[in-house]
Structures are given as structure tokens and as C-alpha cells.
Structure 1
Amino acid sequence: MPTHLTMEQLNDGLPMIEASPKDNGTLKAIVIRPATEKRVSLDSCELSPQGGVHGDNWAQGCWKTLPDGSPHPDVQVTIMNSRAIELISGDVERWPLAGDQLFADLDLSETNLPPGTQLRIGDVILEITEIAHNGCKKFAQRFGTDAVKFVNSPPGKRLHLRGIYAKIVQAGTVRVGDIIQKVDQYSP
């Protein structure tokens, strides 16, 4: 069983996380959850407004639904800062345990990516939503109680260390290594 970091060790890693690029970040990993507690790492993946992250179980039974029972589009995609999960997990092989689909070397703070901001990754355009993404009991079991306290702390909330939710505005393919750009700064 891996050793979990202490709060002091986690706080010592904050400067590395805060140095994440504000734009022109990089997609570091893609993970789908085909079933509860199952994780598959991919080199590329299709995303669409109808199917979410293809192969992921979002469309089969989302925790947040619309009045008609269909999965809520505002929680289609979870994005976590790759520097944060690198610090918290201690090993890239443990990143999938976080349960997020995209891991990005990008500043995910609300200051940098307020709700409504659009990002281009490969052919895909995502829009950041207002839904809060918080550390939970499963996150604590996998990474330790200090990790949950860290991501839910005032700096953790400010930097969105547990991650952010996004909805898919334009379908397409994302690939590990893709550049992530704010749409308003994108030029084809």
C-alpha cells in the first residue's frame, strides 16, 4: 500500500502546482471509467455532447441528472491538474484512481478558468461549468485524509486542486500531448 503524504508535504508542493501554465497547457493523460471501480488509460479518445467521453460510464448512470433522468451535461468531463495528481498520488500509475477523465498541465483556478471559459483540446471544445468538484470519501481512501483536506482547503478550492467539470460544446478527438488553449486566444 502506498504511503500517503502529510499535509506539510502536500503544502510544500503548492508552488509547483501554482506554476502551471495559464494557457497553452498540455493534456497529460486520458482515463475512462467503463464501469464502477474500473479504469482504462487511453492515448486518444472521442468526446461528444451526446456520449460524453466515449467509453466512460457517464452516459449510463450519472450522479447528476436532468429532470427527464438523462445525465447532466454540466458534469460530462472531469479535468484535474496533472501537477496536483502527481504530487498527491506519488506515481503516474495511481493517477486513474482519482476518477477524473482528463489530466491537464494547466492552471484550473477560477481566476484563470471561470465558468463559461471554453477550452480547445485537439478537435474538441469544452466549456467550464459552475458545478463544484470536491474531494470525497473514496479520494481519502485512495490518497489519504490529508489529501482531501488539502484539495478542500482554501488554497485547494481557489486552485481547484480536486479538479473542475466541463461540458462538451464541440465533438472531436483528444490525444495525450494535445495543447490546451483558451478558445478566445485560439487561432487556427
Structure 2
Amino acid sequence: MADSITVRHRTMDEIMEGLHLVRRSPQGVGTLALAVRRPAVDAREVLSRAELDPDAGLIGDSWSQRPSSRTPDRSPHPDMQLNVINSRFVELIAGADRDAWALAGDQLYFDLDLSVDALPAGSRLAIGERAVIEVTAEPHNGCAKFAARFGRDAHKTVWSDEGQRLRLRGLNARVLVGGTIKAGDTVRQLPTDVGQA
């Protein structure tokens, strides 16, 4: 699916003009806009429902088979189970087509302030009725694929000082409490002493 979609690359002026919408993302309580499974490299499946698991991450996703350069034995990094991105930013650079959003390669798309100030490492988020994830300290950075899919100006934006502060490229997280989630579910920030598995 991913290779068959082409996104018109937004200019820096277009991105800057729309960035105020991202800055206004809700704090503390937001919405899961989209869940995506990556069954293989460059493959994407937009899901109506997804299952989160503390050991596997998002069930059916290829995280557990992806070697990591950040672990000594190149095993999948436990603090990079989930990639989370701001849905307003994705819509800004990819348009309204949610299949195009999936090109970003993230599993969870939140309408929520993901900035470093709003969600420092260790922050916990409840999704839907049961699932809880925790923001980790591992950085989530833009790569060559991101630049190729969304353009050099989008890539420059995520690497800017403001882009890093707002976490425009997103954040890494791990599953603390498993559960079924679906688009439209409420995402709530929890006190840091709640939601420990």
C-alpha cells in the first residue's frame, strides 16, 4: 500500500502557515485519530481496531522483528515498541487522505500535544478503556524515507528547534497495559504514579 501513494510535497511556506494548528493541539486529553500496523518493511495496514500488548507492542506489527542499532545485540528496542505522531502535523504535510498519513511509518496518530514540555519521558497515556502506554526517552527522528515521502521542507521542519521541541516527528513509547484500541478513542494523560503494569 505505501509505495502506491504519492504525496504532494508541501513548501516551507505552506507548512509554516499551518503550523499554528499543531501548536493548538489539545493538552492532557486528546483523541486517537489513526492506528496503523506495519506487517513488513514499507507495508502499512490502516486498522479499524488494534490490540496493544506489553510484550509484542501492537499485535501484528513488525517491531518485534526489526533489529535496532541502539541495542547491544541489535534486538528490537523495548523503548521503541510504538511510534506516535501528531495527527495535525501529518495532515498538514500529507493532506486529508489517511492512507497517505500511514506513509509516515508510525503506528499511532494522536490529536494531542506531544511536545517535550507536555509529555516528558515517563509520561503515561491511557487509550480507550484499558490500554496504557509510556513515553520513553528514545528520540524519534526523521529519516531519508520521511524526506522522500513528504519532502525536504517537511524534513527540515521536524529537525528545526521548534520541530524538536514540539516533537513533530513524534515520540517513542512502550505498552504498559494491553488492550484493544480504535480510532476515535480518548487519549488521556495519567498521573505518573498511575498505570504501572
Aligned pairs for 1:22-171 (under 5 A) are: 22-64=27-69, 66-67=71-72, 69-92=74-97, 93-122=99-128, 123-171=130-178
Give the gaps of 5 or more residues in structure 2: 1-5
1:120/1:137 Cα in 2 relative to 1: closer, same or farther (>3 Å)?
same
> What code does the residue aligned with 1:115 have?
A
Partners of 1:3 and 1:172 in 2: how far apart? Answer: 36
Task: Classify 1:69/1:156 alpha carbon distance in 2 versus 1 (closer, same or farther; 3 Å).
Answer: closer
Q: Which amino acid letter does the alignment assign opposite residue 88 of structure 2?
A: R
Letter of the 2:139 counterpart = A
SS, match of residue 191 in structure 2: helix
Quote the Cα distance in structure 2 between the aligned partners of 1:108 and 1:120: 14
> RMSD value over aligned CA atoms?
1.6
Return the TM-score normalized by structure 1: 0.94
SS in 2 for 1:13: helix
The count of corresponding residues between Structure 1 and Structure 2 is 186
Tell me, in whole angstroms, the C-alpha distance in 2 between the residues paired with 1:46 and 1:65. 26
Aligned-pair identity (%):
46
Shift of 1:64: 4.5
Query: What residue ranges of structure 1 are gaps of 5+ in the alignment?
Result: none
One of 11, 20, 37 as aligned partner of 1:15: 20
1:107 maps to amino acid: D
Q: How far did residue 13 of structure 1 move? A: 1.0
Contact 1:49 1:73 in 2 (8 A): no
Structure 1 residue 3 displacement after superposition: 2.2
Q: What residue identity is the alignment partner of 1:131?
A: E
Q: Residue 99 and residue 2 in structure 1: after superposition, are their counterparts in 2 closer, same or farther (change >3 A)?
A: closer
